[in-house]
């Protein structure tokens, strides 16, 4: 198979989906590997490194799109790339389809086979760990005086107390943020709705991280005394009210910080997306750090970890074929988003009110022994294409 590593072109994006190590592995399997020039440069990998691993270096992304059966990148497909997609072409990247209607329109119109990377990780994405760790670090940076923050240091100084932080959510992102904040000496409270997860955090840190049930009452009580709020909650796109209202934000002290790692509109009422070039803004006297691709700030480490995590997906698809790969891996199967003009992603169907078909049905593998996987979100849809209803 001809596999192409695209250079990510999203503003501020420096990661690469495959390093020379992964290229070498795929080359050993007998595939032709193409890498766009400078695809890994900002993550620390030169074109010569890829060429030595066996890749053909192309001067442009367009050559990758035109040549390869299977293309991959880190972030979403940009509007300028829509016309480059070809019918039947396999695409793997972080599509975030439920939130990007126009991108889904393009995938369906071009009749490609698209897999949304963020739903495919059995053990959680390394991008999540990177976002949590780097997000916590950048929140502390945002608090510095030159950023108009309150100027507190994480662990405090002799005679001056440390930073008081609240981390909402203790999934992979939240755990990563907690690790950085705790190790830097901040006072940490974690809020979640899962008592078991909270108990595990308390045990891991020997009771030195405070825990509380996440609800509007508790957060309202905590925020006036909180120096930094770190949001790691994946917020339902059809939620009726925010987790943190503008009034709650206004209750925080001037110069305190909100880091919204999840970047879901509707969760924090004062949120709007920012970039690495212009990462912070102030609302209600509170500094907001809301960069939408935080892991790109540590592109070297993130690329190495992420590429290693997705390599088994690439090998399975390229060596066994799509049907077998998806039958044997439920997490990869649930990530199939579009298949030759048909939507195959339940959350997107439910949020965007589109018909869909289950991946196992359209691939005709429902009679095989299928590896199970949990649903990606609580969103459900019974809006099926009529031709697939029995």
**Looking at the annotation, which residues are catalytic?**
96, 264
Torsion, Cα 49 52 54 55, to 10 degrees, reads 40
Which 8-state DSSP code applies to residue 187? E
3-state class (DSSP) for residue 378: coil
User: Cα–Cα distance between 210 and 208 in angstroms, integer?
Assistant: 6
Do 309 and 122 meet the contact criterion of CB atoms below 8 Å apart? Answer: no
Which residue is associated with the tokens 């909402």? 168
Measured distance CA(362)–CA(156) in Å, rounded: 58
β 228-231/257-260 pair status: parallel
- Report the side by side order of strands in the sheet with 286-289: 210-213, 187-192, 164-168, 228-231, 257-260, 286-289, 280-283
Catalogue the E-assigned strands of the chain.
Answer: 2-5, 32-36, 56-58, 70-72, 90-93, 113-116, 164-168, 187-192, 210-213, 228-231, 257-260, 280-283, 286-289, 336-339, 342-343
8 A C-beta contact, residue 268 and residue 50: no
* Reduced 3-state DSSP string for 196-264: HHHHHHHHHCCCCCEEEECCHHHHHHHHHHCCEEEECCCCCCCCCCCCECHHHHHCCCCCCEEEECCCC
> β-strand 286-289 against 70-72: which pairing, if any?
unpaired
Beta strand 257-260 with 286-289 is parallel
Query: Are the beta carbons of 7 and 38 closer than 8 angstroms?
Result: yes
Place of tokens 């390229």: 318
Cα 252 to Cα 165, 222, 223, 228, distances in angstroms: 12, 9, 6, 9
């Amino acid at each position: 198979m001809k596999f192409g590593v695209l250079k990510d072109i999203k503003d501020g994006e420096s990661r690469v989906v495959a390093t020379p190590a992964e290229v070498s592995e795929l080359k050993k399997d007998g595939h032709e590997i193409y890498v766009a020039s400078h695809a890994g440069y900002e993550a620390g990998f030169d074109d010569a490194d890829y060429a030595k691993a066996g890749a053909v270096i192309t001067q442009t992304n367009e050559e990758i799109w035109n040549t390869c059966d299977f293309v991959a990148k880190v972030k979403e497909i940009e509007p300028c790339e829509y016309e480059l997609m070809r019918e039947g072409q396999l695409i793997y990247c972080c599509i975030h389809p439920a939130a990007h209607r126009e991108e889904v329109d393009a995938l369906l119109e071009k009749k490609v086979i698209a897999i949304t990377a963020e739903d495919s990780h059995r053990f959680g994405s390394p991008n999540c760990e990177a976002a949590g760790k780097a997000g916590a670090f950048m929140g502390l940076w945002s608090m510095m005086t030159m950023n108009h923050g309150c100027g507190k240091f994480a662990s405090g100084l002799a005679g001056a107390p440390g930073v008081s932080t609240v981390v909402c959510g203790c999934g992979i992102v939240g755990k990563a943020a907690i690790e950085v904040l705790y190790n830097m000496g901040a006072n940490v409270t974690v809020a979640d709705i899962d008592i078991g997860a909270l108990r595990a955090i308390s045990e891991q840190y020997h009771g030195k991280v405070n825990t509380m049930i996440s609800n509007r009452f508790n957060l309202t009580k905590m925020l006036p005394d909180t120096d930094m709020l770190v949001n790691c909650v994946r917020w339902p796109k059809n939620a009726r009210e925010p987790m943190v209202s503008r009034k709650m934000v206004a209750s925080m002290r001037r110069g305190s910080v909100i880091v919204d790692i999840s970047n879901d509109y509707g969760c924090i009422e004062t949120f709007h997306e920012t970039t690495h070039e212009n990462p912070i803004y102030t609302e209600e006297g509170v500094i907001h750090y809301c960069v939408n691709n935080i892991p790109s700030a540590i592109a070297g480490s993130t690329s190495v970890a992420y590429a290693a995590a997705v390599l088994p997906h690439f090998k399975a698809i390229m060596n066994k074929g799509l049907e077998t790969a998806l039958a044997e891996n439920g997490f990869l199967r649930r990530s199939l988003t579009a298949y030759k003009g048909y939507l195959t992603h339940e959350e997107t169907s439910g949020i965007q009110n589109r018909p869909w078909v289950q991946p196992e049905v359209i691939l005709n593998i429902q009679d095989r022994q299928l590896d199970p996987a949990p649903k990606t979100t609580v969103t459900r849809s019974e809006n099926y294409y009529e031709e697939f209803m029995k």
